[in-house]
């Protein structure tokens, strides 16, 4: 299968001489959720800014759906790769939520009907029916974040990049984002997450790429990466608390990495049943 995003040997050196990413190779396929982890300044944001052409590789090549990012305009690439910035205030500026949703489509010069169709889809997905006439700046921060996400989704890009989506969100907001990421995947989108939120990744158990000092050091399923102590220590990452705890419980340790409370409970129940079976046999 052809990868949708293909990063081939890409390096990026900023004009001040700082190497932000070095020889990164990464293929992302349709319908994948990919989390990019790493400490601050490890090159996560620089890497994803290449996906919609905001940055061009100084070495190597990136193709998005077969198009080379070097040749295409950012506006064209942005219709394929939607990038939701960390701070929604950088993106929203129109007086009404509904106008905000239409803005991206208008930039792409779509017909009225098409804009309406796409915006309605986004409204449905994000359940924004009640806020359409509100000013985005009157909404609370998690609602504003959703408006920013919805305004990107209205363009209906194949890929959606979320830059630290759960930062500054309350528990409900985090749950909502988890739900949305699952929805995006159901609707056939590729989701790229930059995050420090290990619980979010634990819940998703998605493919996880670890960046460290401008280089890609790991690329695997979250439970495999979290089980690799060397990598976790190198990149300065701390797995979810439930993973750390279960790693230290001998009676659970059947070579499995637990990422969520539910999975641990499930396992305990199974163990318990088996014990009961053994007990009844004897």
Partner 1 sequence: MNSLYMPKDSFIHNLDPRTKMIFVAFVVLSSFILNDPALQLLFLASLFPLVVAAKLVKPYLISMQFLLLFAVLIMTVHGIYNPIGVTPVFEIFGGLTFKYESMVYASVMSFRILVIGTAAVLFVMSTHPSDMASALVKWKVPHSFAFILLSTFQIIPIIAREAKIVMEAQQARCLDVKGSLIQRVKNLIPIFAPLFIITFMKVHQLSYVLECRAFSREGTKTSLRDTKIGSKDYAFLLGIVVFLTFEIYLQIFLSGSFNLTTNGLLTYSLIGTWAVFALMIAKFVIKRVQGFVGGMADA
Check: CB of residue 185 under 8 Å from CB of residue 33: yes
Q: Does 258 bind partner 1 (CB under 8 A)?
A: no
Kindly tell me which of 71 and 277 has the beta carbon lying closer to partner 1.
71
Task: Confirm if 192 and 34 have CB atoms less than 8 A apart.
Answer: yes
Task: Decide if residue 73 touches partner 1 (CB under 8 A).
Answer: yes
Q: In the complex with partner 1, which residue's Cβ is closer, 31 or 75?
A: 75
DSSP string, 153-213: HTT--SEEEEESTTTT--HHHHHHHHHHHHHHHHTT-EEEEE---HHHHHHHT-EEEEEET
What is the enclosing helix (H) or strand (E) of 9?
strand 5-13
89 binds partner 1 (CB under 8 A): yes
Is 107 near partner 1 (CB under 8 A)? Answer: yes
In this chain, which of 147, 155, 174, 192 binds partner 1, going by CB under 8 A?
Answer: 155
The residue range among 31-39, 104-112, 194-202, 261-269 that interacts with partner 1, by the rule CB under 8 A, is 104-112
13 or 227: whose CB is closer to partner 1? 13
Residues paired with 207 in a beta bridge: 34, 221
Q: Which of 18, 124, 137, 269 binds partner 1 (CB under 8 A)?
A: 137
How many residues line the site for partner 1 (CB under 8 A)? 30
79 binds partner 1 (CB under 8 A): yes
Among 25, 75, 266, 271, binds partner 1 (CB under 8 A): 75
Tell me the backbone φ, ψ of residue 46, rounded to 5 degrees. Answer: -60, -40
Tell me how crowded residue 8 is: count the other CB atoms within 10 A of its CB: 15
Q: Which residues, other chains included, contact 278 with Cβ-Cβ below 8 Å and sequence gap of 6+?
A: none
- Positions in the binding site for partner 1 (CB under 8 A): 49, 52, 54, 61, 68, 70-71, 73-75, 78-79, 82-85, 87, 89-93, 103-104, 107-108, 137, 151-152, 155
């Amino acid at each position: 299968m052809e990868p949708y995003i293909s990063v081939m040997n890409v390096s990026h050196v900023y004009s001040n001489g700082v190497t932000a990413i070095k020889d990164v190779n990464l293929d992302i396929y349709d319908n994948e959720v990919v989390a990019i982890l790493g400490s601050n300044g490890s090159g996560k944001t620089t890497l994803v800014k290449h996906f919609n052409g905001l940055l061009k590789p100084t070495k190597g090549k990136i193709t998005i759906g077969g198009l080379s990012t070097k040749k295409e305009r950012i506006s064209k690439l942005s219709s394929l790769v939607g990038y939701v910035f960390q701070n929604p205030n950088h993106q929203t500026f129109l007086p009404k939520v509904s106008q905000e949703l239409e803005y991206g489509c208008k930039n792409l010069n779509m017909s009225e009907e098409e804009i309406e169709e796409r915006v309605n889809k986004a409204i449905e997905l994000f359940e924004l029916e009640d806020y359409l006439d509100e000013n985005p700046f009157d909404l609370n921060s998690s609602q504003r974040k959703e408006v920013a996400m919805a305004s990107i989704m209205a363009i209906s890009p194949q890929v959606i990049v979320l830059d630290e989506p759960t930062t500054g969100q309350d528990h409900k907001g985090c749950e909502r984002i988890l739900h949305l990421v699952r929805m995006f995947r159901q609707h056939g989108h590729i989701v790229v997450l930059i995050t420090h939120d290990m619980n979010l990744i634990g819940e998703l158990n998605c493919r996880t790429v670890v960046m460290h000092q401008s280089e890609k050091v790991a690329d695997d399923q979250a439970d495999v990466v979290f089980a690799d102590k060397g990598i976790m220590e190198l990149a300065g990452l701390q797995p979810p608390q439930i993973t750390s705890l279960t790693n230290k419980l001998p009676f659970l340790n059947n070579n499995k990495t637990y990422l969520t409370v539910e999975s641990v409970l499930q396992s305990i129940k199974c163990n318990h049943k088996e014990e009961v079976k053994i007990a009844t046999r004897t």
